Amino acid sequence: MKRALAVLALTAMAAAACSGGGGTGPGVRQDGGSGGKVTIRWSTWGSADDIKLYEEFTQDFEKRHPNIKLKLESVPKYADYHPKLLTQLTSKTAPDVIFVGDDNIGKFVTAGVLTPLNDKLAGPDSKSRPEDFGEGLYGGAKRDGTIYGVPNDTNPEVLWYDKKALQAAGITEDPAALHEAGQWTMAKYLDMNARLKAAGKAGSLFWNWYGSTYSFVGGFGGKVWDGGKFVATTDPKTRQALETLAKGYQDKTFLCVDLLPESDSANTQFVKHKAGFYAGGRWMIDIVKKGGEQDNYDIVPFPSPDGKPMPGAVAASYLALNKDTEHPKEAFTFLTEFVSKEGQLIRLKSGGAVPSVKGAESLVLEGGYPKHAKTFIDVRDTGFANYPEEVAVPGLTFAINEHLLKVWQGKLPFDQGMTELQKLVENHKG
């Protein structure tokens, strides 16, 4: 999850000047009376440097809405953010508008602390309609047809590949060309990984999070959740995928980025042509550009069993309204403009994210890098945020990732690891 959290910390920020009215309630009027300027408090996670990326949106918003002042309350670490927010919600001191991570949104929906958004998004004051976002992106932010959070931006999980590393391993086929020809299969991909390993390189670099793991499972035609049931340990194709991952980690065909030393990080290995593939999002552009040989790199979706396109994982976070906000109209104005086409075109100009809203694709396609940049859009449009069934259970995604890490390291024999994984999920679900 570290990679996912780092991505979200970069792409989920928005800026606001920290000046403005104080107070302890959700929304604060600076003059204390009706008709004055309203301060809308909102929160997210990330560093001060991250916040600076989005100052233009705040300046533009406040210029167009002189009656609204935005006050950002940020928490540096993702791990600290949601516990603090739950405490604030319980004590009725939470901000008016809040970011929620895709692995936490389910618990906030269950707690009943978020405002249903369907009517507001479909209403006359909305700048972002429900249908402006792919159905798969809502994940746990949508339950029984009710929307509780809107995806603010995304990072589809794709495979970056190093042409120089592939060539050094004697691989002449181009993954993106194979994909376009309908021949990008799991068998082809695994063969390339084996040849990279034989050439003294790592085949693939994966972060230990659901995005890489579940996309890999999809490449075998497997399922993780089916009809509300966790089937990863019983579905034959999923077990085959997970066992392939475990064997690959243990013989170093695959490397777990979470476990690599800082002195020889995944980023370093990839730009030095020590690995053929690196699973990641659009945030990888900065990494390969810093390596100085960016034309050696391109992207391709995760392979499928038969070469036909398949859904892939998409990292997401959500913007939601505190159910107890004292200023629902102004708070929603901020939310809908933040996630709108115009808002994302402003916010994401300098970032490494992919817009969640339809119509802002130019941000990804302008500049023509990587060559197959449209792959980001394709995966976004057909992909999925973390499964609603999984994120509805507090801590479950984290527990699954931590358990699988033991399997990847060989600390648990595979069959035992699957048996214990099933029990772990059942215990968390109660």
Please state the pTM of the whole predicted model: 0.90
Residue spans per domain, the chain: 2-155+316-381, 158-312+393-429
pLDDT at 26: 55
* Residue ranges of E strands in 104-238: 142-143, 146-147, 150-156, 158-162, 202-206, 225-226, 229-230
Is 298 a residue whose pLDDT tops 80? yes
pLDDT at 429: 87
2-155+316-381 shares its CATH topology with 158-312+393-429: yes
* Residue 387's pLDDT band (cuts 50, 70, 90): very high
Is 55 a residue whose pLDDT tops 80? yes
| pLDDT tens-place string over residues 4-20 | 444 444 343 333 333 33
Residue 98 C-beta-side C-alpha neighbours within 13 Å: 32
Phi, psi of 207 (to 5 degrees): -80, 150
Give the count of beta carbons closer than 10 Å to the beta carbon of residue 124.
4
Q: What average pLDDT is seen over the chain?
A: 91
With a pLDDT cut of 90, the percent of the chain lying above it is 84
3-class DSSP state of 134: coil
Question: Rounded to 5 degrees, what angle do the CA atoms 132, 119, 94 make?
Answer: 95
| pLDDT tens-place string over residues 191-242 | 999 999 999 999 999 999 999 999 999 999 999 999 999 999 999 999 999 9
| pLDDT tens-place string over residues 313-370 | 999 999 999 999 999 999 999 999 999 999 999 999 877 899 999 999 999 999 899 9
Domain 158-312+393-429 coded CATH 3.10.110.10: no
pLDDT at 345: 94
pLDDT at 141: 97
Give the count of beta carbons closer than 10 Å to the beta carbon of residue 135.
11
pLDDT at 18: 34
Please give the Cα distance from 233 to 364 (Å, whole number).
37
Please give the Cα distance from 421 to 399 (Å, whole number).
9
pLDDT at 35: 56
Structure tokens at 8: 């979200």
Please give the Cα distance from 374 to 363 (Å, whole number).
11
Is 24 a residue whose pLDDT tops 60? no
Of the options 3.40.1710.10, 3.40.190.10, 3.30.479.10, 3.40.50.300, the CATH number for the domain spanning 2-155+316-381:
3.40.190.10
* Residue 248 Cα to chain centre, angstroms: 25
Q: Check the CA dihedral 159-153-291-257 and report its sign.
A: negative
Question: Rounded to 5 degrees, what angle do the CA atoms 282, 288, 293 make?
Answer: 140
What single-letter DSSP state applies at residue 419?
A: H
Decide: 240 and 229 in contact? Cβ < 8 Å: no
With a pLDDT cut of 70, the percent of the chain lying above it is 92
Structure tokens at 72: 């950002």
